[in-house]
Amino acid sequence: MKRTLLRSFALATALTLTAFGTALAGPPWIAIEYPANPFDRTSRDAFLTVRTYHHGDLMAKTVTGTAEGVVNGKRQSMALDIRPGSQAGMYVVRWQRPAGGRWVLVINSGMQGVTDATAVVDISPSGGVASVTVPTRAIGNGWISPRPVAAAEINGLLQGRALASAGTQYNANR
């Protein structure tokens, strides 16, 4: 009984401290810069750059991503070449759109194997960035936080449908 009570108390304390830490420090964020800066030697000739934040501060994280596409009716997926840039929290994505198909880049940031933010980059038919969305959810106290992106949402984008729920979006066609 005592052990169960102690475990329950420890779990409650851990959850409280986690929520309190997010409220004080703020949530993570991911941002896309397109086109990449040609004057920075690390991003010269790159497709785009990624910046990762914790609250408002640039912070180095693990960044991974895939290009998801449909070519001639067949689904394709390829890992993106993502490398650290010239600043902590900046990453360079080298990618060239294949000759055909519809493409979406899914770029994740996080730490210790856990994704904390995802940017979804919709690629135009000409190979440029059509829009960038960071799907979000409200977490209280006026904060928004990135939320996971479901495979069905990516499939929907590849079929020409908008991302399922609200997020912060930049649309190059505005």
Q: State pLDDT tens for residues 37-81.
A: 999 999 999 999 999 999 889 999 999 999 999 999 999 999 999
Reported pTM:
0.80
Position with higher pLDDT, 3 vs 16: 3
- Sequence-ordered list of residues with C-beta below 8 angstroms from that of 121, at least 6 positions apart, any chain: 32, 34, 48, 104, 105, 106, 107, 129, 131, 132
Helix, strand, or coil (residue 20): helix
Half-sphere exposure of 75 (CA within 13 A, CB side): 10
Phi, psi of 161 (to 5 degrees): -95, 155
Span 141-157, average pLDDT:
91
pLDDT tens digits, 76-98: 999 999 999 999 999 999 999 99
Q: Is the pLDDT of residue 169 over 90?
A: no
Residue whose token pair is 């991302």: 163
Predicted pLDDT at 113: 85
Structure confidence at residue 164 as a pLDDT band (50, 70, 90): low
How much is the pLDDT for 5? Answer: 44
Query: Helix (H, G, I), strand (E, B), or coil: what is residue 157?
Result: helix
User: Please, what is the average pLDDT of the chain?
Assistant: 84
